[in-house]
Each structure stands twice: as structure tokens, then as C-alpha cells.
Amino acid sequence: MPDIWKGFSWLNHKCAETDTTELKEMVDQASERIDLVLKGAEILKVNSNVTSKLKVANEHLADVSKGLALKDTLCKDIKAVSDIHDAMEVLNTDVIMKDPNKAAKAFDQLFSAVGVICKQLPPVAAQWGLFFESAGSFFEDMAVPLNPEKRQSGREQWKQIEGYSR
């Protein structure tokens, strides 16, 4: 594995073990509470050194919240790039022909990851992000209905086709 993929794998692992969701919620909640205090001070016509310090603190909390949101976005993008790499490692002609279920799972992973990356691109590509990301388990779900050997109905029809040997 080239060094760049080792780096992505390490970053992906670090992102997975560093969940900042709860911290971001607490920062946002603190900011909302400071907003309430500032509104109360405005209603009561309080103009003190404390309110100016609260305004500055709230601005800093907003910066912290933006930083935590950026971290989450970067981690999702790193995971998506890692997922694309992993899916492409699996997808080759042998796997597609010999293990269609494994290939279908890799295609699902690939499409979902491409959707995450598309959302970060300019608007023309970004509009496809939700489409690709929402593919979910489409390929896995369709692997059985499209495979005449696995589906319950229609097996006899395939035997009528010249060259079909199974």
C-alpha cells in the first residue's frame, strides 16, 4: 500500500476515534444561553462590561463551533476517499465474475463515497452528491433479482436461452 493510503487510513482511524458531536452540541448550547442572557440584558437596558465580555465570548464560541463542524466535514471526506480506495481495491473482473455479492457491496460503498465527495465540488457536480450518496445498498439489493441462479422465479426461462449452461 503506498504511503498516501497509509496516511488516509491513519487519518480515517483518528477521525473514527475522535467524536466531537457532543462537544459541538455543548458549545452551541452555551452560545444559545449567552444569546438569551444578552437579550435579557438588552431588554433591561443593561450596558456593562459584562455584556461586552459575553459578546466576545459568544463570538469565540461561534469560531469553535465552526472549527468543530469543519473537523466533522473533513473526517467525512477522509472516510469517503478511504472508502473509494477500498472499493476500488475490491473491484476487478475476477471479483465481479466470481463473487457478485462482494462486488455489489463494493459498488454500494463506491457510490456512497463518491456522493460524499461530490457534495464538496462546484454546484454542477454537487447536485449529484445526494443521488450517489443515497444509493445505499442498491447494488446489493439488486444482485439477487438480476442473477437468474439466485432469484426464485424465472429460472426455467433462462434455460431456454441458447448458450445458457447453468
Residues 35 and 58 sit within 8 Å (Cβ to Cβ): yes
2 and 69 in one domain? yes
Q: What is the CB-side half-sphere exposure of residue 105 using CA atoms within 13 A? A: 7
**Separation CA 105–CA 86 (nearest Å):** 11
For residues 63 and 55, what is the distance between their CA atoms, to the nearest angstrom? Answer: 13
Which residues in 134-157 are b (16+ Cβ under 10 Å) and which e? Answer: ebeeebbeebeeeebeeeeeeeee
Please tell me whether residues 96 and 73 are part of one structural domain.
no
Total domains present in the chain: 2
Does residue 83 lie within any of the structural domains?
A: no
Q: Do 73 and 120 sit in the same domain of this protein?
A: no
Phi-psi region of 5 (alpha: psi -120 to 50; beta: other; left: phi over 0): alpha
What's the predicted TM-score (pTM) here?
0.67
- Over residues 66-124, the pLDDT tens digits come to 888 888 888 888 888 888 988 998 898 888 888 888 999 999 999 999 999 998 888 88
Contact 108, 135 (CB under 8 A): yes
- Shared domain for 72 and 1, answered yes or no, is yes
Alpha helix (H) residue ranges in 18-48: 21-43
Give the mean model confidence (pLDDT) for residues 3-15: 73
Nearest to residue 108, comparing CAs of 98, 97, 100?
100
By C-alpha distance, which of 24, 28, 128 is closest to 73?
A: 24
Same domain membership, residue 100 and residue 69: no
Residues 21 and 62 reside in one and the same domain: yes
Does 26 map to a domain? Answer: yes
- Give the per-residue pLDDT at 69: 85
pLDDT value for 113: 93
Q: Provide the residue range defining the domain that includes 140.
A: 91-166
Give the pLDDT band of residue 151 (cuts 50, 70, 90).
Answer: low
